[in-house]
Amino acid sequence: MKHDILFYQLFENETSTFTYIIADKSTGDAAIIDPVLETADRDLQLIKELNLKLNYILETHIHADHITGAAILKSHTKAKTAVSEIAQVQNADIHLVDGQELLLGRKKIKVIATPGHTNTCLTFQFENMIFTGDALLIRTCGRTDFQQGSADKLFSSVHDKIFSLPDETVVYPGHDYKGFTSSTVGLEKKFNARLNQSKSKEEFKKIMAELKLPNPKKIDIAVPANLNGGLLASKSKPSATE
C-alpha cells in the first residue's frame, strides 16, 4: 500500500457487504464506496476521526440486498453521490460513464463500466486497486438473473476490462461469504471457479443459468430505495436507526 493514500475496508455483517473508504493522504480528500444504511453512522464516525473531507459517495451498482447509506452520508457532509448514468437515479449528483475520471485530491478514480451482474455495474480503479462490486467476487461472481443482468455481458466485462489490467492489481469485491478480503487480477484469472481463463463463454453461461438462486430478501425494498438515492419513497428524511 502506498504511503500517500488512506484505505479502509469495512464490513456489514447481515449482507456480507464491504464498504471502502479511500483518500489522498496529502489533502484529506476522500471517497466512500458502497456504504450501507445500517453502518452509515460507523462510517461517518471514522471519516470524522480521520479528519477527512468526503468528496464522493460511489455506488458500484443499484444494490438489491441492502439499502445504501448514501442519503445519511450526504446529509452530514458535502459529498456528491455518484452512480451509473444507466441507473437514472434522478437525485444523484454525478451520473457516471465508462472511462470517466474523478479527481480525489491529487489522485484520480477511474470509472470502468462492467455490466453483467446488473446493467448498472461499475468498477472503480484507484492506484493499483480496483473495487469491483458484484461483477467479480473472490473466486466467483455476482448472479446475472435480475436487474437486466446478462451472463454474456458479465463474461465480456471481466475478461475484456478487468482481466486486461496488470496481474498485480488488487481486487476488492463488493461481498465475501467465505472469509476472504481481497485477491488480485492474476489470481482470479487462474482460480476463479466461474471466470478463470480456461472457461469459455458458453461454459460460463451454462453455470449461471443453472444457479437457480432465490431473490435477495430485501430486493423489493432495496431496489426502489436505491433508485431514490437511499431514501424510501415514504420517507423525506434519512435515518440510520430504523
Nearest alpha-carbon partner for 91 in 61, 70, 121, 76: 70
Report whether pLDDT(20) > 50: yes
Report whether pLDDT(145) > 80: yes
| Averaged pLDDT of the chain | 95
Task: Output phi, psi for 154, to 5 deg.
Answer: -65, -40
Note the pLDDT of residue 232: 79
Percent of the chain with pLDDT over 90: 94
Q: For 150-203, write each residue's pLDDT tens digit.
A: 999 999 999 999 999 999 999 999 999 999 999 999 999 999 999 999 999 999
Q: For 42-93, write each residue's pLDDT tens digit.
A: 999 999 999 999 999 999 999 999 999 999 999 999 999 999 999 999 899 9
Q: Which of residues 158 and 241 earns the better pLDDT score?
A: 158
**What residues are paired with 36 via a beta bridge?**
68
Domains of the chain from N-terminus onward: 5-213 (3.60.15.10)
Nearest alpha-carbon partner for 111 in 68, 32, 58, 185: 58
Task: Output phi, psi for 116, to 5 deg.
Answer: 145, -55
3-state secondary structure the chain: CCCCEEEEEEEECCCCEEEEEEEECCCCEEEEECCEHHHHHHHHHHHHHCCCEEEEEECCCCCCCCCECHHHHHHHCCCEEEEEHHHCCCCCCEEECCCCEEEECCEEEEEEECCCCCCCCEEEEECCEEEEECCCECCECCCCCCCCCCHHHHHHHHHHHHCCCCCCCEEEECECCCCCCCEEHHHHHHHCCCCCCCCCHHHHHHHHHCCCCCCCCCHHHHHHHHCCCCCCCCCCCCCCCC
**What residues are paired with 82 via a beta bridge?**
58, 94
Rounded CA-CA distance 86/207 in Å is: 27
